[in-house]
Structure 1
């Protein structure tokens, strides 16, 4: 008891951490998981003629999925040298491990894509992002900052120019559904959808993994780092959203876009607040001036990346607080966050069981969400207490070990 107390006082005095997983990062993953579940199960618009946004839509739409992607970059940075990137043979081995892990995630995503479900499944895009980020894993903070800034600014412009060309053929080069195994038979359409015309356009979303790599290359255990992430992320997020809102509402952007849509009565104002998916952004450069969720514009990417940074900073600060008071305050979030692939997969499978069917008697949408969220948290706590990996996390980890060192790594 005395030695444990001494160690605790030492950590408090020096601000150092014990080696291992950063619980704040796992907790942030838990926030992302619960946020995505909320947007899947709870209405993001009211059922009125104006499609009035709900607080769920205003809070989580676009942000939860972006946080999930940014955390992927953070995790890759932490597994490839933290603030000192790997080099040479170690870096090559790490890249092989990431590539094999991506194949596991892609296989799960393609399998889920065969389900009939009203959920935009992110896993195939997630896996492709893992492959696309491989060339950047050996970079340090400064070059990564340059790449992230350039990608946030340039990728939406290039996507805006390419999308009309990809959507011009008959049929257009987009799937209109979640990628599934059958889509491998039409690779051109599949790749166009995954990179440009689908729900999570990888071409722009690579920005999130680059931002995550930047965050993960910082010295996260330093006391000042979470504060900087929280403060700077909040300031940038507010500024980006304010600029996008001003462009749409004060400078004539929304009026110009309503003329392009030529659909009188269409609630574009509400859509710009919650989800721009489904609207073909063409015919006006004003599309690139919005900060609408799921628009993939520079301001949207900047805003959601900054929100993710702020959430990560807040969770890391809560981790330090938990260490200070010697209580595992983050357990409900970090447990679920350590096995997001398994829990997300089960969540999608359960939701598919209610597709186009009425909810069981006595159940509401709120009740369904809280039941699934509570189940995910409970399972996460049990696995965390037992120090088990989730089944799909084990598969991904095993694939990564094989890629890094061959089958000898498993012995």
Structure 2
């Protein structure tokens, strides 16, 4: 019975990863504001901030499953797991640095992804309850720490951010690289570790049980909706939005419109009211709770839909099983299409890439193979893991 449930569970998780992939692709290709207006498009309303957050939460689920699922590994087995994860993290970060050299407007997540894997290593031996305490505490306190640290960092580190994706040469300016990756960049690792910890909590549950899947869906919806409602109350009747618009930074932007799309580029300092927003990429507690809740709901829904029929979400789960390869390919394709004159129609470009990703994913599944970059990372990670296990014996 157990051997039958595992593939189904993983199929649902792959499908959720596929949702994240296509959501991120849509935000890279399609406009986030309606042309000629400051109104958010459906792409922004659905996927801005949520797609990349879902990617990170599912990464946390993967880490939990790699390290024993409901019963986390111990001692030599855990040490071997951690060695494999560290090697995987380094390779993913290196791929991110290579892609950073590609001419593109995309904020590439892979270097940060690798750093997050390394930071998650100390938590891989925890059971669900202590892990849940850490996740809750991190989501609550990390945004406060970031709010206090950002002004200090921006005042002492010159420049305080990279102004683009991390590159190999940025290791020559380690202070700026660290400031950008942990605090001032597009995916601030200080707050984003909360997504991985939430994912690890989910991965420690018995995800094959119907009650767990249904409970995860309900909890995710409540968290996502509740965070938005609390933020709306604080910003509206609470007076938070008026206070932010009155700040020098808030007065420079159409802030109310940006709350639906994202606060990238906005200096969220000078007022504690910034912590009341739940806008995409704001990195506040309410943003983290909303995105993590949305991610939990998507994962649960995918698990429920693939419960009886593992291939029910094949157009999502097949590409979701090789997101590292397809994401990297997408970045390269976008770098090429951005140079075309005239620029291709965004909607046509999205569907061409989406259909190609589905076709490639299904093809690799049919020949029982993983993507090239997945083979590279898993092969190196497994070799390191087995080597560590042999040494420990």
Aligned partner of 2:212 in structure 1 is 225
Aligned partner of 1:335 in structure 2 is 318
Which deviations, in whole Å up to 9, do the C-alpha atoms of 1:58-85 show, x marking residues without a partner?
1100000000000000001111101000
Aligned partner of 1:65 in structure 2 is 52
Find 2:88's aligned residue among 101, 115, 131. 101
Unpaired runs of 5+ in structure 2?
none
Find 2:184's aligned residue among 165, 188, 197. 197
Unpaired runs of 5+ in structure 1?
1-10
Question: Measured at CA, do residues 134 and 408 of structure 1 come closer, stay the same or move farther in structure 2, by a change above 3 Å?
Answer: closer
Cα distance in 2, alignment partners of residues 344 and 334 from structure 1: 14
Q: CA RMSD in A?
A: 1.9
Find 1:291's aligned residue among 274, 278, 289. 278
Aligned partner of 1:81 in structure 2 is 68
Cα distance in 2, alignment partners of residues 15 and 367 from structure 1: 41
Aligned partner of 2:351 in structure 1 is 370
Report matched runs for 1:60-209 at 5 Å: 60-169=47-156, 171-209=158-196
TM-score normalised by L of structure 1 = 0.91
Aligned partner of 1:394 in structure 2 is 375
CA contact (8 A) 2:116 2:189 kept: yes
1:243 equivalenced with 2:230 (yes/no): yes
Question: SS of 1:294's equivalent?
Answer: coil
Task: Report the CA distance between 1:174 and its aligned residue.
Answer: 0.9
Task: Report the CA distance between 1:238 and its aligned residue.
Answer: 0.4
Report matched runs for 1:250-289 at 5 Å: 250-261=237-248, 266-289=253-276
CA contact (8 A) 1:71 1:212 kept: yes
CA contact (8 A) 1:29 1:340 kept: yes
Task: Report the CA distance between 1:406 and its aligned residue.
Answer: 1.8
Larger Rg: 1
CA contact (8 A) 2:24 2:52 kept: yes
Question: Measured at CA, do residues 18 and 309 of structure 1 come closer, stay the same or move farther in structure 2, by a change above 3 Å?
Answer: closer
Aligned partner of 1:352 in structure 2 is 335
CA contact (8 A) 1:98 1:403 kept: no
CA contact (8 A) 1:45 1:54 kept: yes
Task: Report the CA distance between 1:405 and its aligned residue.
Answer: 1.2
Aligned length: 390
Task: Report the CA distance between 1:246 and its aligned residue.
Answer: 1.8
Task: Report the CA distance between 1:356 and its aligned residue.
Answer: 5.3
Find 2:15's aligned residue among 14, 27, 30. 27
Aligned partner of 1:6 in structure 2 is none
Cα distance in 1, alignment partners of residues 322 and 385 from structure 2: 21
Task: Report the CA distance between 1:171 and its aligned residue.
Answer: 2.9
Task: Report the CA distance between 1:359 and its aligned residue.
Answer: 4.2
Question: SS of 2:246's equivalent?
Answer: helix
Task: Report the CA distance between 1:407 and its aligned residue.
Answer: 9.1
Which deviations, in whole Å up to 9, do the C-alpha atoms of 1:154-201 show, x marking residues without a partner?
000000111111112473321010001111111111111101110000
Question: Measured at CA, do residues 291 and 73 of structure 1 come closer, stay the same or move farther in structure 2, by a change above 3 Å?
Answer: same
Cα distance in 1, alignment partners of residues 249 and 323 from structure 2: 42
Aligned partner of 1:7 in structure 2 is none
TM-score normalised by L of structure 2 = 0.95
Question: Measured at CA, do residues 313 and 359 of structure 1 come closer, stay the same or move farther in structure 2, by a change above 3 Å?
Answer: farther
Cα distance in 2, alignment partners of residues 135 and 379 from structure 1: 36
